[in-house]
Structure 1
Amino acid sequence: MELQKPYYAVIFTNLRTEGDNGYGQMAEVMETLARKQPGFLGFESARDGLGIAVSYWESLEAIANWKSQMDHKQARKKGIQTWYSWYKVRICKVEREYEFNK
Protein backbone atom coordinates (compact mmCIF):
# COMPACT_ATOMS: atom_id res chain seq x y z
CA MET A 1 0.00 0.00 0.00
CA GLU A 2 1.79 3.15 -1.22
CA LEU A 3 0.28 6.27 0.31
CA GLN A 4 1.08 9.94 -0.17
CA LYS A 5 3.14 11.05 2.85
CA PRO A 6 2.69 12.36 5.38
CA TYR A 7 -0.50 10.64 6.48
CA TYR A 8 -1.87 9.44 9.82
CA ALA A 9 -2.26 6.01 11.41
CA VAL A 10 -4.76 5.21 14.15
CA ILE A 11 -3.45 2.16 15.99
CA PHE A 12 -6.11 0.36 18.03
CA THR A 13 -4.59 -2.28 20.31
CA ASN A 14 -7.00 -4.38 22.36
CA LEU A 15 -7.81 -7.45 24.39
CA ARG A 16 -11.21 -9.06 23.78
CA THR A 17 -13.63 -10.52 26.27
CA GLU A 18 -14.83 -14.13 25.86
CA GLY A 19 -17.24 -14.99 23.04
CA ASP A 20 -18.20 -13.15 19.88
CA ASN A 21 -21.36 -11.44 21.16
CA GLY A 22 -21.92 -9.79 17.77
CA TYR A 23 -18.35 -8.47 17.52
CA GLY A 24 -17.50 -10.07 14.16
CA GLN A 25 -20.51 -8.62 12.41
CA MET A 26 -19.97 -5.16 13.91
CA ALA A 27 -16.29 -5.21 12.94
CA GLU A 28 -17.26 -5.86 9.32
CA VAL A 29 -19.86 -3.08 9.39
CA MET A 30 -17.38 -0.61 10.91
CA GLU A 31 -14.68 -1.42 8.37
CA THR A 32 -17.15 -0.97 5.49
CA LEU A 33 -18.38 2.31 6.96
CA ALA A 34 -14.84 3.60 7.62
CA ARG A 35 -13.87 2.93 3.99
CA LYS A 36 -16.67 5.32 2.92
CA GLN A 37 -15.46 8.19 5.11
CA PRO A 38 -13.72 11.19 3.50
CA GLY A 39 -9.98 10.95 4.11
CA PHE A 40 -9.88 7.18 4.69
CA LEU A 41 -6.80 5.58 3.10
CA GLY A 42 -6.63 1.96 4.27
CA PHE A 43 -6.96 -0.64 6.99
CA GLU A 44 -4.91 -3.56 8.36
CA SER A 45 -5.59 -5.85 11.32
CA ALA A 46 -4.31 -8.93 13.12
CA ARG A 47 -5.38 -10.94 16.15
CA ASP A 48 -3.57 -13.64 18.08
CA GLY A 49 -4.80 -12.97 21.60
CA LEU A 50 -3.78 -9.32 21.32
CA GLY A 51 -5.71 -7.49 18.59
CA ILE A 52 -4.15 -4.73 16.54
CA ALA A 53 -6.11 -2.74 13.98
CA VAL A 54 -4.53 0.13 12.08
CA SER A 55 -6.53 2.57 9.99
CA TYR A 56 -4.85 5.14 7.76
CA TRP A 57 -6.15 8.67 7.21
CA GLU A 58 -5.26 11.78 5.21
CA SER A 59 -5.58 14.18 8.16
CA LEU A 60 -6.31 14.64 11.84
CA GLU A 61 -9.60 16.23 10.79
CA ALA A 62 -10.62 13.04 8.94
CA ILE A 63 -9.80 11.02 12.08
CA ALA A 64 -11.87 13.37 14.27
CA ASN A 65 -14.80 13.13 11.85
CA TRP A 66 -14.63 9.32 11.95
CA LYS A 67 -14.52 9.37 15.76
CA SER A 68 -17.65 11.54 15.86
CA GLN A 69 -19.57 9.43 13.31
CA MET A 70 -22.73 8.25 15.11
CA ASP A 71 -22.57 4.51 14.22
CA HIS A 72 -18.90 4.45 15.20
CA LYS A 73 -19.74 6.13 18.54
CA GLN A 74 -22.33 3.43 19.24
CA ALA A 75 -19.87 0.66 18.32
CA ARG A 76 -17.27 2.14 20.69
CA LYS A 77 -19.83 2.24 23.50
CA LYS A 78 -20.75 -1.42 22.86
CA GLY A 79 -17.03 -2.26 22.80
CA ILE A 80 -16.53 -0.82 26.27
CA GLN A 81 -19.65 -2.54 27.60
CA THR A 82 -19.23 -5.95 25.95
CA TRP A 83 -16.28 -6.70 23.64
CA TYR A 84 -13.08 -5.37 25.21
CA SER A 85 -11.40 -5.92 28.54
CA TRP A 86 -8.72 -3.37 27.58
CA TYR A 87 -7.78 -1.13 24.68
CA LYS A 88 -5.43 1.68 23.74
CA VAL A 89 -5.61 4.07 20.80
CA ARG A 90 -2.53 5.76 19.36
CA ILE A 91 -2.58 8.37 16.60
CA CYS A 92 0.67 8.75 14.71
CA LYS A 93 1.91 10.87 11.84
CA VAL A 94 3.60 8.68 9.20
CA GLU A 95 6.41 10.54 7.50
CA ARG A 96 8.39 7.62 6.11
CA GLU A 97 7.82 3.96 5.35
CA TYR A 98 9.55 1.04 3.71
CA GLU A 99 8.73 -2.59 3.07
CA PHE A 100 10.10 -5.93 1.92
CA ASN A 101 8.17 -8.03 -0.56
CA LYS A 102 9.48 -11.30 -2.00
Structure 2
Amino acid sequence: MERKEYYAVIFTSKRTDGDNGYGKMAERMEELAGQQPGFIGIESARDANLGITVSYWESLEAIKHWKENSAHQTAQKLGKSSWYEDYFVRICKVERDYGMNE
Protein backbone atom coordinates (compact mmCIF):
# COMPACT_ATOMS: atom_id res chain seq x y z
CA MET A 1 0.00 0.00 0.00
CA GLU A 2 1.49 3.30 -1.05
CA ARG A 3 1.33 6.03 1.56
CA LYS A 4 1.52 9.78 1.10
CA GLU A 5 4.69 11.54 2.23
CA TYR A 6 5.71 10.96 5.83
CA TYR A 7 8.81 11.24 8.02
CA ALA A 8 11.38 8.82 9.37
CA VAL A 9 13.49 9.41 12.47
CA ILE A 10 16.62 7.28 12.17
CA PHE A 11 18.39 6.72 15.48
CA THR A 12 21.77 4.98 15.27
CA SER A 13 23.63 4.15 18.45
CA LYS A 14 26.60 2.44 20.00
CA ARG A 15 25.67 0.99 23.40
CA THR A 16 27.66 0.83 26.61
CA ASP A 17 28.25 -2.59 28.19
CA GLY A 18 25.42 -4.20 30.15
CA ASP A 19 21.67 -3.64 30.07
CA ASN A 20 21.38 -1.24 33.04
CA GLY A 21 17.60 -1.03 32.55
CA TYR A 22 17.84 -0.29 28.83
CA GLY A 23 15.69 -3.19 27.62
CA LYS A 24 12.77 -2.36 29.86
CA MET A 25 12.91 1.32 28.94
CA ALA A 26 13.16 0.55 25.22
CA GLU A 27 9.99 -1.55 25.45
CA ARG A 28 8.23 1.22 27.35
CA MET A 29 9.27 3.87 24.82
CA GLU A 30 8.01 1.77 21.90
CA GLU A 31 4.68 1.28 23.69
CA LEU A 32 4.40 4.98 24.55
CA ALA A 33 5.39 6.13 21.04
CA GLY A 34 2.62 3.93 19.66
CA GLN A 35 0.12 5.98 21.65
CA GLN A 36 1.29 9.32 20.26
CA PRO A 37 -0.75 11.16 17.63
CA GLY A 38 0.94 10.90 14.24
CA PHE A 39 2.90 7.72 15.02
CA ILE A 40 2.95 5.27 12.09
CA GLY A 41 5.34 2.51 13.16
CA ILE A 42 8.83 1.45 14.20
CA GLU A 43 11.58 -0.91 13.03
CA SER A 44 14.74 -1.79 14.92
CA ALA A 45 17.88 -3.90 14.51
CA ARG A 46 20.99 -4.32 16.65
CA ASP A 47 24.20 -6.27 16.53
CA ALA A 48 27.15 -6.23 18.93
CA ASN A 49 28.37 -2.83 17.70
CA LEU A 50 25.52 -0.84 16.21
CA GLY A 51 21.82 -0.32 16.80
CA ILE A 52 19.44 1.27 14.31
CA THR A 53 15.88 2.23 15.16
CA VAL A 54 13.65 3.93 12.62
CA SER A 55 10.35 5.40 13.74
CA TYR A 56 7.82 6.70 11.24
CA TRP A 57 5.62 9.77 11.74
CA GLU A 58 2.91 11.62 9.85
CA SER A 59 4.45 15.08 10.40
CA LEU A 60 7.35 17.07 11.80
CA GLU A 61 4.94 18.36 14.46
CA ALA A 62 4.26 14.79 15.63
CA ILE A 63 8.03 14.20 15.89
CA LYS A 64 8.44 17.42 17.89
CA HIS A 65 5.69 16.39 20.33
CA TRP A 66 7.31 12.98 20.82
CA LYS A 67 10.71 14.57 21.49
CA GLU A 68 9.06 16.80 24.11
CA ASN A 69 7.21 13.94 25.85
CA SER A 70 8.34 13.90 29.51
CA ALA A 71 8.88 10.13 29.71
CA HIS A 72 10.83 10.24 26.45
CA GLN A 73 12.96 13.10 27.80
CA THR A 74 13.78 10.97 30.86
CA ALA A 75 14.84 8.12 28.56
CA GLN A 76 16.98 10.54 26.53
CA LYS A 77 18.80 11.71 29.67
CA LEU A 78 19.42 8.13 30.79
CA GLY A 79 20.67 7.29 27.30
CA LYS A 80 23.23 10.08 27.45
CA SER A 81 24.37 9.22 30.97
CA SER A 82 24.17 5.40 31.01
CA TRP A 83 23.29 3.57 27.80
CA TYR A 84 25.10 5.09 24.83
CA GLU A 85 28.75 5.59 23.99
CA ASP A 86 27.57 7.50 20.94
CA TYR A 87 24.40 8.14 18.96
CA PHE A 88 23.13 10.10 16.00
CA VAL A 89 19.63 11.19 14.96
CA ARG A 90 18.51 11.87 11.40
CA ILE A 91 15.06 13.12 10.42
CA CYS A 92 14.12 12.41 6.82
CA LYS A 93 11.14 13.02 4.61
CA VAL A 94 9.97 9.84 2.88
CA GLU A 95 8.59 10.78 -0.51
CA ARG A 96 7.87 7.27 -1.73
CA ASP A 97 7.93 3.72 -0.47
CA TYR A 98 7.35 0.29 -2.00
CA GLY A 99 8.08 -3.34 -1.29
CA MET A 100 8.59 -6.66 -2.98
CA ASN A 101 4.97 -7.80 -2.75
CA GLU A 102 3.33 -4.55 -3.80
TM-score tier by shorter-chain length is over 0.9
Q: 1:47 & 1:100 partners in 2: Cα distance? A: 23
Give the aligned partner of residue 79 of structure 2.
79
Percent identity reads: 65
Q: What does residue 17 of structure 2 align with?
A: 18
Q: TM-score with structure 1 length normalisation?
A: 0.94
Deviation at 1:100, TM superposition (A): 2.1
Runs of 4+ in structure 1 off by over 4 angstroms are none
Q: Is residue 2:55 matched to residue 1:55? A: yes
Question: What is the CA distance between 1:3 and its match in structure 2?
Answer: 5.8
Q: How many residues align?
A: 100
In the alignment, structure 1 segments of 5+ residues that lack a partner are none
Alignment TM-score, normalising by the size of structure 2: 0.94
How does 1:22-101 map onto structure 2 within 5 Å?
A: 22-48=21-47, 49-101=49-101
CA RMSD of aligned residues (A): 1.0
Please, which runs of 5 or more residues in structure 2 have no aligned partner? none
Q: What is the one-letter code of the residue matched to 1:44? A: E
